[in-house]
Chains A and B, each alone.
Chain A
Amino acid sequence: MSLRILRPGLLTTLQDRGRYGMQHLGIVPCGAMDEVAHRLANALVGNFEDEATLEITVLGPELVFDEAVLVAICGAEFEAKSDGRPLPLNRPVFLEPGSRLVTGRALRGARAYLAAAGGIQVEPVLESRSTYLPASFGGHEGRILKRGDALPLSPEASSLARQRYAKLARSATVRFGMKTVRWSSPALTAPEHEPIVVHAMEGRHFGLFEPASQRAFFEATWRVSPDSNRMGYRLAGPKLARAKAAEILSGPTCLGTVQVPASGAPIALMADHQTTGGYPKIAEIAFADVPRMAQLAPGGALRFARCTLAEALELRRVVKARVDASLRSIAWSFGR
């Protein structure tokens, strides 16, 4: 049971919910950039949330499955077809043995997650299947997928596909010749319109910046620079300046830390961020908004809305309730 890459797309990697407990050794959590879409994709095929999925970016891959498989693509809205027929997104789709899946450009958002029932079964490294590109480990040989790569699926993938699709009988339908269901999960993270609004708290070093830069941070419309990647989003906009250039002791960073190097162009740290950093931290993005941020492609626009820690925690509760409700309703469709 395997899936084979016929065309790799722009940046296709294996990711799960990341590796934790080793940041004191400099080992980065990694994991899906949009963890909400990753979890939904897994739920849509009846998997546990931490099975590995394919994270596809901006321009998706083309692949072929050797056996029957239940798949779901969730997150950004991608062009997707299977054997010439449009493949519906954000819902489970049963593919017959030998099906080709062709994804194209992302029409809205930047990243989607392709899950298969039973998961993609590469060997975990340090208890995770996530790919960490800068140090070349995890995922499939620690690297971006390329043409000809064959990724193992669960040995039970085709029987799981049949069993799980059978459980969906209540809502099963055939759409453009594809076996799927009548419902879809809402896309919770793909941007409706830009600039998106991202909530952020003042960072540890906010006070070190000039008042004009403090204002500009929360007033400007920022653009994601082309040299952004899974480690960080470089943001183009007004240059941010410090009132005085004191040396800062290298300290801890976090998913969503916004740091400002000497160039004055801020960097928002994303899933593959380094565990420590010596640049001043102007802001911290609310955890609940990181998945939406991850859906911005280079050129994408955002504004920061100032929030307090209490507001960020409240936002997290609201978003968690929404995600949990979606996960519950998907599980209910599988009869659970």
Chain B
Amino acid sequence: MALRRQSTPRPLGIFPLGDTAAYVEFAEQLDLEVNAAGQRLAAAVRERGVPWIRDVVPTLGGVALHFDPDHAALPAEPLQAAAALIELCLDEGLPSADKVGRSIEVPVCYDPEFALDLAEIAERAKLSREEVVRRHAAGEYRVLMVGFAPGLPYLGGLDAKLEVPRRETPRQEVPAGSVAIANKQAVVYPYAIAGGWNVIGRTPLVLFDAERRSPSLFAPGDRVRFVPVTREAFERQRSASGRRT
């Protein structure tokens, strides 16, 4: 509902992040509405195109503003200038949450070969494998933050029955495209890296490609649905997307 007026949580404060960045903190604990407010603020700040701010980074609990230390227009007191800018954006009203981000469908194959930790999750959650898959794929997720690695989304909206801690021993290498869960969140691994999240499937989509015009498939605020696909459909889509494995 675009016309519905959305309340805007106020930040707890604006803190220096070294002498070249500021962190607008909204919450010290994860709160999905507060997280969305950070993304709306980030969109408002970016909209202004302030020349001495070179990165606007919404994270789980707030927004970081990174300054260009060599920019001629950098104010002498950048933290105060950033605080004034934030006040201005909040006073003028932030864009509504449905204006931030796109809707993305992510095909996932839950084949046992890919779902390295599905059996263990099912056991811990006292659910059948099919029920874990059903609940995972039924969720409506939102990208809370992209971080840790280029193109890696942290997704909020996981079914409470699927909350399990991270693996005690992280894997040295989690395959590219692995769809994983831990605690209250889901992630998708953009390329093969070490990681401790519980892997329950794999997507044929290429999440990150530096040579692509939009290098990252996901951006903060995107709404995500996981769509179960067969092994055949996975292989077909993977060869179409040209992933090297």
The chain A residues found within 8 Å of chain B, CB to CB, are 20-29, 125-126, 132, 134-135, 137-138, 142, 201, 204, 249-257, 274-276, 284-287, 309, 312-313, 316, 320
Cβ of B61 within 8 Å of any chain A Cβ, yes or no, is: yes
User: How many pairs of residues, A versus B, come closer than 8 Å at their CB atoms?
Assistant: 137
With A and B bound together, what is the CA distance between A27 and B54 in angstroms? 13
Contacts of A132 in B (CB 8 A): 150, 210
Judge whether B55 and A23 touch: CB under 8 Å.
yes
Set B17, B64, B151, B154: member contacting A25, Cβ < 8 A = B151
Which of B25-33, B87-95, B118-126, B156-164 lies at the interface with chain A? B25-33
Cβ of B8 within 8 Å of any chain A Cβ, yes or no, is: no
Judge whether A287 and B69 touch: CB under 8 Å.
yes
Judge whether A21 and B55 touch: CB under 8 Å.
yes
Cβ of B133 within 8 Å of any chain A Cβ, yes or no, is: no
User: In the assembled complex, how far is the CB of residue A46 from the closest CB belonging to chain B, in whole angstroms?
Assistant: 20
Cβ of B140 within 8 Å of any chain A Cβ, yes or no, is: no
Contacts of B27 in A (CB 8 A): 249
With A and B bound together, what is the CA distance between A27 and B210 in angstroms? 9
Contacts of B151 in A (CB 8 A): 25-27
With A and B bound together, what is the CA distance between A22 and B191 in angstroms? 18
With A and B bound together, what is the CA distance between A18 and B93 in angstroms? 33
- Which DSSP category, helix, strand, loop or mixed, fits chain B's interface? loop
Judge whether B147 and A250 touch: CB under 8 Å.
yes
Contacts of B233 in A (CB 8 A): none
The chain B residues found within 8 Å of chain A, CB to CB, are 15-21, 23, 27-30, 42, 54-62, 64, 66, 68-70, 76-79, 145-152, 154, 191, 193, 208, 210-211, 215-216, 218-220
Judge whether B150 and A252 touch: CB under 8 Å.
no
User: In the assembled complex, how far is the CB of residue B89 from the closest CB belonging to chain A, in whole angstroms?
Assistant: 16
Judge whether A285 and B18 touch: CB under 8 Å.
yes
Contacts of B77 in A (CB 8 A): 313
Judge whether B59 and A252 touch: CB under 8 Å.
yes
Set B23, B42, B68, B193: member contacting A204, Cβ < 8 A = B23
Judge whether A251 and B62 touch: CB under 8 Å.
yes
With A and B bound together, what is the CA distance between A256 and B61 in angstroms? 21
Judge whether A25 and B29 touch: CB under 8 Å.
no
Contacts of A22 in B (CB 8 A): 55, 215-216
Residue of B nearest to A253 (CB): B17
Judge whether A24 and B57 touch: CB under 8 Å.
yes
Set B20, B29, B62: member contacting A255, Cβ < 8 A = B20
Contacts of B70 in A (CB 8 A): 320
Residue of A nearest to B216 (CB): A25
| A to B CB contacts below 8 Å, 26 in the list | A20-B66, A22-B55, A23-B55, A24-B57, A24-B58, A25-B218, A26-B216, A27-B151, A29-B55, A126-B215, A137-B211, A201-B16, A249-B29, A249-B59, A250-B145, A251-B64, A252-B17, A252-B64, A254-B20, A256-B18, A257-B17, A274-B147, A286-B19, A287-B69, A313-B76, A320-B70
Set A249, A252, A255, A309: member contacting B28, Cβ < 8 A = A249
Contacts of A276 in B (CB 8 A): 57, 59, 145, 147-148
Contacts of B17 in A (CB 8 A): 204, 252-254, 257, 284
Given contacts A135-B191, A251-B61, A316-B69, are A287 and B28 in contact (CB under 8 A)? no
Judge whether A135 and B210 touch: CB under 8 Å.
yes
Set B19, B79, B149: member contacting A26, Cβ < 8 A = B149
Judge whether B148 and A135 touch: CB under 8 Å.
no
With A and B bound together, what is the CA distance between A252 and B64 in angstroms? 6
Contacts of A251 in B (CB 8 A): 23, 59-62, 64
Contacts of A320 in B (CB 8 A): 69-70
Given contacts A26-B147, A137-B210, are A275 and B18 in contact (CB under 8 A)? no
User: In the assembled complex, how far is the CB of residue B27 from the closest CB belonging to chain A, in whole angstroms?
Assistant: 7
Judge whether A24 and B146 touch: CB under 8 Å.
yes
Given contacts A24-B42, A274-B147, are A138 and B210 in contact (CB under 8 A)? yes
Judge whether A309 and B19 touch: CB under 8 Å.
yes
Contacts of B76 in A (CB 8 A): 313
Contacts of A309 in B (CB 8 A): 16, 19, 79
Judge whether A26 and B30 touch: CB under 8 Å.
no
Set B29, B60, B215: member contacting A27, Cβ < 8 A = B215
